[in-house]
């Protein structure tokens, strides 16, 4: 319903491109980092530290397997190299920032955000290196790797929050309350923004592209199902199974269309899959969460 409010607000002119961009910055640079720091306000625990290391290893393993499966399935679809690049990108990278964290928080609470923050560290490394390389064409290559790619507020919040956790540092009352209140903006703000972004995407061409349906269903159902089956068979704790499964069940990352536009990829196709997968996620996410 929040997503629909965002969609309707954009269509009604209450949200425009400039305001949406500004609110996106507020979400990614203020609200989300606050949510991450707030989730890490926990007394130090050796078991929690150990499980953080385990979920980071799980993340690396999931991304490695996802990359292989993404290239495999993209190759099976009769498509141009440019289209296969988009298919591979959206299968590898899910919508972590706008939808992943809010859904994890809704399902698992602050404890889930703690694990999700650690789990998503490889995302920032891969999306700006491998991601750009596979979605771009020969006109523009992937950017050179440098530390500035990873110097974003969400990653900084993970490291800052983890230091607070390691030394059991508790924020002063007023500051802790402010951080908590800012973090609570994440879910409603993210849903409004996703709705606003969807309102700008072309609708007519989305529903006639059968490949967009195939890739969306792979992204939303098959990949999270594979993650859940494998991790469940290892008899891991609930959080270590649930967090990777929920993140894998998110729709295509919104920045797939942005990066495709920036690096001369197929931005129209990326936008179609973002729209369709986000729309279908309204139905698929409750199904996946039901497994947990």
pLDDT of 98 reads: 83
Task: Specify whether the CB–CB gap between 190 and 35 falls below 8 A.
Answer: no
pLDDT top residue among 143 and 99: 99
Assign 272 a pLDDT band (cuts: 50, 70, 90): confident
Average pLDDT of the segment spanning 130-155: 67
What percentage of residues in the chain have a pLDDT greater than 90? 57
Angle between helices 46-76 and 223-233 (to 10 degrees): 140
Assign 144 a pLDDT band (cuts: 50, 70, 90): low
Assign 82 a pLDDT band (cuts: 50, 70, 90): confident
Residue 71: CATH number of its domain: 1.20.1530.20
pLDDT top residue among 3 and 180: 180
17-36 confidence digits (pLDDT tens): 899 889 988 998 999 999 99
What percentage of residues in the chain have a pLDDT greater than 70? 95
Kindly report the CA angle at 13 between 11 and 19, in degrees rounded to 5?
110
Cα–Cα distance for residue pair 123/102, rounded to 1 Å: 17
pTM: 0.86
Cα–Cα distance for residue pair 189/116, rounded to 1 Å: 19
Question: Which of 154-158, 239-243, 256-260 is predicted least confidently?
Answer: 256-260
Q: Which domain holds residue 25?
A: 2-291
Task: Specify whether the CB–CB gap between 4 and 195 falls below 8 A.
Answer: yes
pLDDT top residue among 143 and 276: 276
pLDDT of 196 reads: 87
pLDDT of 143 reads: 52
Region of 95 (left: φ > 0; alpha: ψ -120 to 50; beta: rest) is beta
pLDDT of 146 reads: 55
Question: Which of 61-65, 172-176, 209-213 is predicted least confidently?
Answer: 209-213
146-176 confidence digits (pLDDT tens): 556 566 788 889 999 999 999 999 999 999 9
Give, rounded to a whole angstrom, the gap between the first and last alpha carbons of the chain.
23
Task: Specify whether the CB–CB gap between 71 and 255 falls below 8 A.
Answer: no
- Cβ burial of 160 (10 Å; 0-12, 13-18, 19+) is middle
Assign 119 a pLDDT band (cuts: 50, 70, 90): very high
pLDDT of 287 reads: 94
CA distances to 14, 205, 219, 260 from 212, rounded to whole Å, are: 30, 10, 10, 16
| CA atoms lying within 13 Å on the CB side of residue 126 | 21
- Tally of domains in the chain: 1
Across the chain, mean pLDDT equals 88
């Amino acid at each position: 319903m929040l997503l629909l409010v965002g969609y309707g607000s954009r269509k009604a002119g209450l949200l425009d491109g400039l305001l949406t961009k500004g609110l996106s910055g507020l979400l990614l640079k203020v609200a989300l980092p606050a949510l991450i720091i707030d989730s890490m306000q926990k007394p130090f625990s050796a078991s929690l530290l150990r499980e953080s290391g385990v979920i980071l290893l799980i993340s690396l393993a999931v991304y490695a397997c996802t990359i292989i499966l993404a290239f495999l399935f993209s190759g099976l679809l009769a498509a141009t190299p440019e289209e296969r690049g988009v298919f591979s990108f959206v299968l590898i990278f899910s919508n972590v920032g706008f939808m992943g964290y809010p859904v994890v928080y809704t399902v698992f609470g602050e404890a889930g955000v703690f694990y999700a923050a650690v789990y998503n560290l490889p995302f920032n490394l891969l999306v700006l290196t491998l991601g750009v390389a596979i979605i771009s064409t020969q006109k523009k290559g992937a950017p050179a790797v440098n530390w500035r790619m990873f110097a974003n507020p969400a990653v900084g919040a993970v490291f800052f929050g983890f230091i607070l956790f390691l030394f059991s540092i508790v924020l002063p009352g007023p500051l802790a309350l402010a951080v908590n209140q800012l973090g609570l903006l994440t879910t409603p703000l993210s849903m409004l923004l996703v709705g606003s972004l969807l309102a700008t995407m072309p609708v007519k061409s989305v529903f006639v592209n059968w490949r967009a349906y195939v890739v969306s269903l792979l992204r939303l159902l098959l990949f999270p199902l594979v993650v859940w089956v494998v991790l469940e068979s290892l008899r891991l704790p609930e959080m270590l199974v649930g967090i990777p499964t929920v993140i894998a069940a998110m729709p295509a990352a919104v920045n797939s269309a942005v990066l495709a536009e920036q690096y001369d990829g197929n931005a129209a196709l990326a936008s179609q899959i973002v729209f369709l997968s986000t729309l279908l996620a309204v139905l698929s996410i409750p199904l996946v969460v039901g497994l947990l």
